[in-house]
């Protein structure tokens, strides 16, 4: 089990690598990679859809009108941005704020899964359809399952997944805002439940199965996703901004 300090250093390495990502065509039109921001040891993590124009310019998630609403909703449950971590399914802005394409989500999801593995949140709130469908691995729309917490295993970690309407959908629709606010008010009680039981590490499962068959266990084989540190940055590469990683 890595320490919090080790996980933070790995998170910095992943961020440095993500800044140079050219896995899809969004790299050609972005201004900044919007990696995420908040508390690197947060128990609560929010996952939205994709950066908008303001986010692309500033390199930070949820800094526009939807972000201000998110801040207000957090304040209503006694929390602030420095208590949580905020990210998106895509790290680059789609042109004209169009919906993400499937191949873009496929190309980008490993960054999000690395964040989940390193931050180790207890609870993940998905904001809107795209984040909800991606992390649930299910096509059910947000209107049917918002406000319904469940335990889901994402990569090597089990979390309390809590689908919510995207704040942007609630900006000009009072009924949606009312539902979003009601769902938000349940976040503290779900957090109090603590982290769900974690899945057994793959190497332990393999060793148990080998022992059952009378075979010699394989030592040191871990099939879970790993975050490999990025290659050392070139001298001209700017240092990692603590504001962008929110190392509070």
pLDDT score for 176: 97
pLDDT for the residue numbered 150: 98
Going from N- to C-terminal start, the domains of the chain cover 17-245
Q: What is the pLDDT of residue 243?
A: 58
198: Cβ–Cβ under 8 A, 6 or more apart, which residues? 157, 158
Return the pLDDT at 191.
98
Average pLDDT, the chain: 86
The model's pTM: 0.84
Region 79-96: mean pLDDT is 96
Question: For the segment 199-238, what is each residue's pLDDT rounded down to a tens digit?
Answer: 887 664 444 444 445 554 333 333 344 444 444 444 444 5
Mean pLDDT of 157-177: 96
Q: What is the CATH code for 17-245?
A: 3.40.470.10
* pLDDT for residue 30 is more than 80: yes
pLDDT of 142 reads: 97
What is the residue-wise DSSP string for 189-235?
A: HHHTT-PPPPPPPHHHHHHHHHHHTTPPPPTT---S---PPPPPPPT
Q: What is the mean pLDDT of residues 7-13?
A: 91
How many C-beta atoms surround the C-beta of residue 48 within 10 A?
29
């Amino acid at each position: 089990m890595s320490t919090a300090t080790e996980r933070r250093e790995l998170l910095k390495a992943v961020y440095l690598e993500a800044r140079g990502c050219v896995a899809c065509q969004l790299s050609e039109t972005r201004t900044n990679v919007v990696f995420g921001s908040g508390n690197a040891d947060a128990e609560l993590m929010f996952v939205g859809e994709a950066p908008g124009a303001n986010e692309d310019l500033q390199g930070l998630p949820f800094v526009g009108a939807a972000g201000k609403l998110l801040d207000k909703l957090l304040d209503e449950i006694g929390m602030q941005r420095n208590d949580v971590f905020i990210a998106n399914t895509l790290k680059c802005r789609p042109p004209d704020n169009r919906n993400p394409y499937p191949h873009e989500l496929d190309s980008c999801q490993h960054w999000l899964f690395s964040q989940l593995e390193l931050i180790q949140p207890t609870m993940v709130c998905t904001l809107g359809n795209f984040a909800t469908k991606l992390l649930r691995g299910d096509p059910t729309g947000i209107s049917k399952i918002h406000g319904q917490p469940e335990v889901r295993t994402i990569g090597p970690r089990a979390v309390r997944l809590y689908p919510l309407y995207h704040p942007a959908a609630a900006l000009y629709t009072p009924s949606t805002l009312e539902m979003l606010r009601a769902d938000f008010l349940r976040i503290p009680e779900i957090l109090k439940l603590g982290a769900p039981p974690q899945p057994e590490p793959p190497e332990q499962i393999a060793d148990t199965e080998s022992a059952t068959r009378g075979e010699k266990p394989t030592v040191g084989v871990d099939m879970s996703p790993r975050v490999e540190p990025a290659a050392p940055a070139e001298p001209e590469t700017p240092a990692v901004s603590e504001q962008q990683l929110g190392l509070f």
